Copies of this chain bind each other. A is one copy, B any other.
Amino acid sequence: MSDAALLFRKNGYHATGLSEILSASGLPKGSLYHYFPDGKVGLAMAAADWTTTGLVRIIDDAFGPAPDYRAGATHYCYKLARLFDISAHIDACPISALLFDGPENMAFRTHAEALFQRLIDSIAAHARRFGMSDAQAQQAAETLLITVEGGWTLARARRKSDVMRSLPARLFPSHP
C-alpha cells in the first residue's frame, strides 16, 4: 500500500496508472482486482486510509509525551515540517488529493470527510486529556487541522518547510 500511496501523493489520481502501481508493488494484476474490485478508485481510497493511519500515529507521538496542548500541537507542526523535508517537497496531502482528483466522485468526498474527521477526533482526544471541554477540544482540533492543511499547501508552493515551523506562533500568538 505504501507504494500506491506514494505514487498517488506524488502524481495525483489521474496521472497515476494502474500499471505503474503494479510494477512498483510487484503484485500481479489479478490480486489487485481481488482486493480492490473497483480498481483504481478503491485503491486510491485505501492508500489515503493508509496515510491517515500514519498521520494519526504522528499525532499520538506528538501529543503523547507533551506537558500541555500547546506543546503537543507545536511538536505536531515540527514533525510535519520534518516529514515535508524528507518527502522532498513533493507530496500532496493524501486526503485533499482525493478531493482534487475526484471532484465528480462523491465517494471520494465522503471518504475524505471521514478521514479528516479521524484526524480531528485524534487531536480532540488529546485536547480533552489536557482538560478541554468537548466543544473546546473540537474547536481546537479543527483549527489545528485547518492550519496544518493550509500551511502544507503554502509550503508546497514555496518548496520550503519553514511555513510548517511558523504555524505554532500563528496558532498561539502571545498577547501582550
Contact = CB atoms under 8 A, between A and B. Distances in A.
A21 interface: no
A163 B175 contact: no
Contact of A95 (B15, B109, B157, B170): B157
B103 A90 contact: yes
A156 interface: yes
Quick one: copies of this chain in the complex?
A: 2
Interface string A129-158: 000000000010011011111110110111
A90 B100 CA distance: 10
B14 A12 contact: yes
Nearest to A169: B139
Contacts of A101: 12, 14-15, 100
